[in-house]
Amino acid sequence: MSADVRLEWFVSFLAVIDTGSFVAAAESTRRSQPRVSTHVASLEREIGLPLFDRRKRPVELTGAGAALAVHAREILHALESAEASMAPWRGGTRGVVTLGSYPSASAAFVPRLLASLRRSSPDVQVVLLERSTLELDDALTSGAVDAYLRPMSPPPASASARSLPLWNEPLVVVHAPEHPLARLPEPIPLGAVVEHPIVSIGRLDAPETGEFESYQLFREHGYEVEPVQATNQPQTLVSLVRQGIGVGVTNWLAAQVADTTGVEVRRLEGPAGRRVAVCWDSVRPLTPAARTLLHGIIDTEPPAGTDPTPERARARRAGPR
What domain count does the chain have?
A: 2
Instruction: Evaluate whether residue 224 is within a structural domain.
Output: yes
Instruction: Evaluate whether residue 104 is within a structural domain.
Output: no
Residue 138 one-letter amino acid: D
Domain boundary among 66, 84, 102: 84
Q: Give 124's strand partners.
A: 95
pLDDT for 2:
60
pLDDT for 308:
94
95 contacts 291 by C-beta, under 8 angstroms = no
* Nearest in space to 109 (alpha carbons), one of 312, 321, 315: 312
Instruction: Evaluate whether residue 47 is within a structural domain.
Output: yes
135 contacts 144 by C-beta, under 8 angstroms = no
pLDDT for 227:
93
Instruction: Evaluate whether residue 90 is within a structural domain.
Output: no
CATH number of the CATH domain containing 9: 1.10.10.10
Instruction: Evaluate whether residue 21 is within a structural domain.
Output: yes
pLDDT for 69:
92
Instruction: Evaluate whether residue 291 is within a structural domain.
Output: no
pLDDT for 320:
45
Q: What is the mean pLDDT of each run of 10 residues along the chain (321 residues)?
A: 77 89 85 92 93 86 93 85 65 79 94 94 91 87 91 85 93 96 95 95 79 87 91 94 96 94 94 88 84 94 93 79 46
Q: Which pTM was predicted?
A: 0.67
Instruction: Evaluate whether residue 205 is within a structural domain.
Output: yes
CATH number of the CATH domain containing 208: 3.40.190.10
Name every residue whose Cβ is closer than 8 Å to that of residue 7 and which is 6 or more positions away in sequence: 75, 76, 79
Instruction: Evaluate whether residue 317 is within a structural domain.
Output: no
Cα 212 to Cα 217: distance, rounded to the nearest angstrom: 9
Domain that holds residue 23: 1-84
